[in-house]
């Protein structure tokens, strides 16, 4: 609908998400200022952006600098300021105060937060700032994960939302999902509830067993606890805290963090970012992985689980027989199969129950489908409904487990069978 951006400022460009978003924008031939606390830090972000583009030529569109020397001057020509600084309300508010002081009246400012309310973030800012302020929540790594949740606050000018949405879709090739300004938006709200449930189950069944049971064959490219190692347990903890404090729903009790996660973060076992200390997984020099044991707070050797129904389901997926693999899961009668079915059913129940709360009601399940597929590489909730035999069958499964059955599931349209193209979400591992 609109002109493109000519000058973009990335605040917090030394971090992973800031540098990679900045890189995507630079790839479009748009001038991007990579700002950080120091020039060296900004330059390290540029290196990451170059690695993502697999091309050094993008540096022609990038200017690196620090806040002290460059912030004031570049804000005057910025069409869009993308704020990617530390996920801390006070730090962000302080940054916005400076931005408000120097930016052009029509400069769009967006936050990449997914947990801090926009109303709080923009408190005290000018009316112009408020009108041009919204959230653009990218997923990591943005070069591969195309989802972008976009949220506004009551003061956001609808034209700004339209302009941003148009730019994100056309220029940055994002799959844009409008979401409500509520902690975790849609994606993190749903995914992290499940992550947390799986961490709780790991106390009883073990880390390796949980990643084996809820592995890629259940409709995700990565096992869940390996994903948390990638995210970082400090981030997981912060997200759970925010979700617990700022949301209230039928599964609120499932948002409480297990004690052992606190112990892990206190001892510096944060995941992939602390390879020596490890996370849920620790890779030894020999190349073998050992697994965190919540009971002893130590690492234990692999047990290499082998459960008949899991192996059978994987073999069917190996041959492209997706529906048949889920029949095996559904028909299996053992405690491990119950765990898998409980998680799949919770995923469906919780996703459908969030329609209207995290996304607009008129979107139905489509918005949540998109964010789970393009933001997490998980099979969409409606796809899992199809895999488990359709709505009628799934409602029965949910009722058996005393899970909430949303009206959107009861009365919604029967989902179109998305196989074969959705086969990519079911990995034979």
Q: Measure the CA–CA gap between 170 and 231, rounded to whole angstroms.
A: 28
Positions that interact with other proteins (CB under 8 A): 27, 29, 53-58, 60, 143-144, 146, 173, 314, 317-321, 419-421, 423-424, 426-429
User: Smaller CB distance to other proteins: residue 55 or 267?
Assistant: 55
Nearer to other proteins, 256 or 319 (CB): 319
Q: Which of 5/58 has CB closer to other proteins?
A: 58
What minimum distance in Å lies between the beta carbon of 424 and other proteins?
5
Min dist CB 403 to other proteins, Å, is 30
Report how far residue 85's alpha carbon sits from residue 15's, in angstroms, rounded to the nearest whole number: 8
Q: Say how far apart CA 310 and CA 307 lie, in whole Å.
A: 6
Q: Where are the alpha helices (DSSP H) in 107-232?
A: 118-121, 127-131, 158-170, 187-205, 207-213, 224-231
Cα distances (Å, whole numbers) of residue 275 to 198, 223, 232, 280: 22, 18, 11, 11
Least distance from other proteins to the Cβ atom of residue 29, Å: 7
- In whole angstroms, the minimum distance from the beta carbon of 425 to other proteins comes to 9
Minimum distance, C-beta of residue 315 to other proteins, in the bound complex (Å): 10
Cis amide leading into 141 (omega within 30):
yes
Q: Which of 133, 217 has the CB closer to other proteins?
A: 217
Shorter beta-carbon distance to other proteins: residue 199 or 227: 227
Shortest CB 266 distance to other proteins, Å: 35
Q: Note whether 33 and 65 are within 8 A (CB).
A: yes
CB 18 within 8 A of CB 84: yes
Of 75 and 427, nearer to other proteins (C-beta) is: 427
Are 197 and 255 within 8 A, CB to CB? no
Which lies closer to other proteins via its Cβ, residue 24 or residue 339?
A: 24
Please, which residues have CB within 8 angstroms of residue 383's CB and are 6 or more apart in sequence? 219, 369, 415, 418, 422, 425
- Least Å distance, CB 377 to other proteins, is 11
CA distance linking residue 24 with residue 32, whole number of Å: 10
Look up tokens 């959230």; give the residue.
135
Residue 315 buriedness (CB in 10 A; 0-12 / 13-18 / 19+):
middle
């Amino acid at each position: 609908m609109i002109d493109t951006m000519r000058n973009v400022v990335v605040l917090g460009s030394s971090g992973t998400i800031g540098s990679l978003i900045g890189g995507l924008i630079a790839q479009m031939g748009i001038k991007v200022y990579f700002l950080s606390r120091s020039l060296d830090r900004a330059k390290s972000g540029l290196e990451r952006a170059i690695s993502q583009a697999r091309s050094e030529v993008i540096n022609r569109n990038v200017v690196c600098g620090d806040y002290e020397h460059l912030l004031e001057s570049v804000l005057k020509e910025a069409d869009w300021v993308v704020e990617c600084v530390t996920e801390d309300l006070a730090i962000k508010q302080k940054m916005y105060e400076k931005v408000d002081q120097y930016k052009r009246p029509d400069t769009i400012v967006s936050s990449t937060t997914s947990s801090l309310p926009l109303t709080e973030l923009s408190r005290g800012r000018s009316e112009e700032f408020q009108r041009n302020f919204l959230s653009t929540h990218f997923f990591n790594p943005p070069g591969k994960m195309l989802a972008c949740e976009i949220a506004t606050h009551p003061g956001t000018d609808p034209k700004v939302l339209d302009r941003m949405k148009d730019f994100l879709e056309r220029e940055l090739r994002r799959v844009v999902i409008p979401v409500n300004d509520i902690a975790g938006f849609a994606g993190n709200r749903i995914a992290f509830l499940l992550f947390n449930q799986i961490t709780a189950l790991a106390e009883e069944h073990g880390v390796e067993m949980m990643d084996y049971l809820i592995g890629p064959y259940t409709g995700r490219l990565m096992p869940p606890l390996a994903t948390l190692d990638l995210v970082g347990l400090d981030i997981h903890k912060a997200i759970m805290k925010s979700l617990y404090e700022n949301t209230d729903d039928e599964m609120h009790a499932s948002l409480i963090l297990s004690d052992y996660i606190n112990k892990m973060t206190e001892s510096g076992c944060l995941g992939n970012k602390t390879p020596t200390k490890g996370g849920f997984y620790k890779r030894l020099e020999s190349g073998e992985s050992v697994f965190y044991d919540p009971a002893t707070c130590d690492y234990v050797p692999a047990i290499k689980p082998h459960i008949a129904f899991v192996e059978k389901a994987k073999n069917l997926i190996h041959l492209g027989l997706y529906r048949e693999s889920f029949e095996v899961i559904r028909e299996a009668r053992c405690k491990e199969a119950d765990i898998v079915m409980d998680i799949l059913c919770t995923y469906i129940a919780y996703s459908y129950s969030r329609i209207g709360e995290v996304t607009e009601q008129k979107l139905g399940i489509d918005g949540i489908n998109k964010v789970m597929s393009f933001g997490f590489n998980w099979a969409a909730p409606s796809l899992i409904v199809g895999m488990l035999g359709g709505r009628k069958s799934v409602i029965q499964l949910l009722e058996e487990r005393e899970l909430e059955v949303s009206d959107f599931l009861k009365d919604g349209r029967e989902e179109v069978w998305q196989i074969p193209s959705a086969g990519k979400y079911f990995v034979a591992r």
